[in-house]
A and B are shown apart, each in its own frame.
Chain A
């Protein structure tokens, strides 16, 4: 019989576990807040939430070192928050206020915080995979020890840039980690119904000489351990990894999409039996973390998100004079003399 795991014999210590929980819980509360603010018409345009997918963002970001780079999709709030970007900056950007990370010039789909290694969120499917490859090329070329991680959805595996980027990264043995968040749906369509293979990322790995890696994306510990292996491989010059994380999007695709295309009971099943936050909270308790400590984390995060919400609400809209700034590197937009 396997020895029961305890905090003492486990590879992840209590401090790290609380960090992982903190990160997941922050994403959960901030994303729920984003949804509420959307319904209040305070988050404008669109918004793609990672509710239910928090463990992936938390697990990878927690395994990263400070100079690592993240490349995200339009579903990028979670990854931006997980790298430590300010909650005011994120919510402010979603609300298109002057306090936003990009002062309202990018919006929900393009969260960027280069000071935290978040090299942008991109809303054209697939484009950021080659960019992450380029960042990894620079690291290899210049002898830097950072790794690029690129997060993308299951739908991305069917676009050409995914395949170009994988081949390229393997050919030049670049330090990049490709993370597919398979949440079962390509927007509104079940991914399995429009993909030739069962596991859209992992089943393609062999075409590029990569290991087929499938993990439980709703288990932050498993994500964290897998990330550590991939990062150490990348940092030791052994090239890229492709990791398919099985998860489930508890929200709609975007905005207020009710997800009517989902079979009855599916969402409830995932929420009840396989919610990453609930699971992780149980594990903390199982491993002997005091309820008080968990409550403290949760209280603190709620307070942080509440305060950030108020701060963002009271922030002015961006001033009109920034409309034409930062088109070109000289700070302006002049295309003629």
Chain B
């Protein structure tokens, strides 16, 4: 095992796939010579050169369109959209093009590409550089949606995304880039569509994603220490395909479900999961399923305001305690 930061795991994942497969190339704004604004792709340009690691103009539509045209005709491109908020300017390619071309052409067209993007809050950047938009992506048939919470998952799920035959939107959390974790040595490839129980427990289930995972674990540890409440935490890891089996078996065991979501409340991913659980596991539940989310507001810039907007360890802890007591 090697200790890598989350951002180093991004570069490691891309490098692993580029070494393996000549058809993998990487494009984006400031990703090559500068190594990315989040320094997540440092070293790739030096290693693979200007043919395979390419600085593009600020042209998000051209970036995604080019990735798509290349993917349709035999490459496996990785495209970076610097901040996930910017996906709104090229959303046509996500919502109408890469997601639908296979279906509309009845399988003639394929689109094996990865769109990597910096998602989420905590950086005090304000409403246009901080959003969690994974639920936008989840709402579109035809794409896959990945959002890792650890360096190992970054590398393994990124590799799986590159090898996947479908277009994948890969959400990296900006506030996790600096965290460190163990990453397996050598080739590391994970499996899309698999959630993970990252903290076993018996009294309640928290389902969380990306930055909310470490916060949920901390809250669960505190609930155990302070009140002896034993909470299981499930890291969803990929929203599409959604591993309901892992989630459902946890809820069946604990009888309680909490979702911790950074996306704004309305139509957040937790709503879908709660609805499935209510449909399919209603008689296993010992109480209401509760969603802990960012409220339905644009994100503020001020640190004190942002901190009370996004679910915090304290908020997760207090809410669960309130509901369970």
Contacts and interface: CB of A to CB of B under 8 A. Distances in A.
A328 B142 contact: yes
B106 A160 contact: no
B62 A137 contact: no
B92 A134 contact: no
A329 B102 contact: yes
Contact of A130 (B69, B73, B101, B144): B69
A129 B104 contact: no
A321 to B, nearest CB: 13
B184 interface: no
A114 B72 CA distance: 10
A112 B109 contact: yes
B105 interface: yes
Interface string A130-158: 11111111110110000010000000000
A160 B89 CA distance: 10
A106 B105 contact: yes
Given A160-B61, A335-B141, A136 B241 contact: no
Interface residues of B, number: 52
Given A165-B62, A335-B141, A135 B72 contact: yes
Contacts of A135: 69-70, 72-73
B75 A326 contact: no
Contact of A327 (B25, B74, B103, B110): B103
Nearest to B143: A328
Contacts of B231: none
Contacts, number: 164
B166 interface: yes
B167 to A, nearest CB: 9
Contacts of B164: 329
B133 interface: no
A122 interface: yes
A336 B269 CA distance: 13
A138 B22 CA distance: 12
A168 B56 contact: yes
Interface residues of A, number: 53
A138 B70 contact: yes
Given A133-B69, A137-B70, A127 B104 contact: no
Contacts of B62: 130, 133, 161, 164-165, 167-168
Interface stretch (B207-215, B242-250, B294-302): B242-250
Interface string B255-282: 0000000000000000000001000000
A31 to B, nearest CB: 21
A246 interface: no
A103 interface: yes
B96 interface: yes
Chain A CB within 10 Å, residue with most, of B25, B51, B68, B240? B68
A257 to B, nearest CB: 24
B237 to A, nearest CB: 13
Nearest to A105: B106
Nearest to A333: B141
A102 interface: yes
B106 A171 contact: no
Nearest to B104: A106
Nearest to A171: B57
Contact of A337 (B69, B96, B244): B244
Contacts of B3: none
A219 interface: no
Interface string B291-323: 000000000000000000000000000000000
A182 B79 CA distance: 33
Contact of B65 (A103, A110, A112, A131): A131
A132 B66 CA distance: 7
A293 interface: no
Given A168-B62, A326-B106, 4 more contacts: A131-B97, A328-B165, A335-B242, A336-B276
5 contacts: A106-B106, A128-B65, A131-B72, A327-B141, A337-B243
Interface of A: 69, 71, 102-103, 105-106, 110, 112-115, 119-120, 122, 124, 126-139, 141-142, 148, 160-161, 164-165, 167-168, 171-172, 322, 325-331, 333-337
**3 nearest interchain CB pairs?**
A130-B65, A134-B69, A329-B165
